[in-house]
Amino acid sequence: MRRHLLSIDDLRREDIERILRLAESFAEVAGREIKKVPTLRGRTVINLFYEASTRTSSSFGIAAKRLSADVENVTAQGSSVDKGESLKDTVQTLSAYDPAAIVFRSPHAGAAALVARWTSAAVINAGDGKHEHPTQALLDLYTLRRRAGPLEGRKVWIVGDVLHSRVARSNILAFGRMGCQVTVCGPPTLIPRGVESLGCEVRYSLDDLGEADVVYALRMQHERMKGSFVPSLREYAACYQIDGRRLGSHQLLMHPGPVNRGVELAAEVIDSPQALITQQVESGVVVRMAVLYDLLAGGPAGPGGGHGARLSGEHSGEAPEPQPA
Smallest gap from Cβ 117 to ligand ASP, in A, equals: 23
Closer of 223 and 321 to ligand ASP (Cβ): 223
Cα dihedral: 50, 53, 59, 61 (round 10)? 40
Closer of 69 and 220 to ligand ASP (Cβ): 220
Smallest gap from Cβ 156 to ligand ASP, in A, equals: 16
Closer of 266 and 297 to ligand ASP (Cβ): 266
Query: What one-character-per-residue DSSP string does 277-314 give?
Result: HHHHHHHHHHHHHHHHHHHHTSSTT-TTSSS---SSS-
Distance separating alpha carbons of residues 3 and 120, to the nearest angstrom: 9
Closer of 44 and 171 to ligand ASP (Cβ): 171
Q: Which residue is nearest to ligand ASP (CB)?
A: 219
Among the listed residues 50, 113, 69, the one whose alpha carbon sits nearest the alpha carbon of residue 291: 69
List the alpha helices (DSSP H) in the chain: 13-30, 55-66, 87-95, 111-118, 134-148, 166-177, 233-240, 267-270, 277-296
What are the residues binding ligand ASP (CB under 6 A)? 127, 133, 166-167, 219, 221, 256-257
Smallest gap from Cβ 139 to ligand ASP, in A, equals: 11
State which amino acid sits at residue 59: S
Smallest gap from Cβ 158 to ligand ASP, in A, equals: 12
Cα dihedral: 311, 313, 319, 320 (round 10)? -50
Closer of 127 and 134 to ligand ASP (Cβ): 127
**Sign of dihedral through CA atoms 6, 167, 91, 298?**
negative
Q: How far is CA 83 from CA 78, 238, 298, in A?
A: 9, 45, 39
Smallest gap from Cβ 57 to ligand ASP, in A, equals: 10
Smallest gap from Cβ 25 to ligand ASP, in A, equals: 26
Strand partners, 183: 157, 201
Closer of 25 and 165 to ligand ASP (Cβ): 165
In contact, 209 and 157? CB cutoff 8 Å = yes
Closer of 15 and 140 to ligand ASP (Cβ): 140
Smallest gap from Cβ 7 to ligand ASP, in A, equals: 14
The conformational region for residue 168 under phi > 0 = left, psi -120 to 50 = alpha, else beta, is alpha
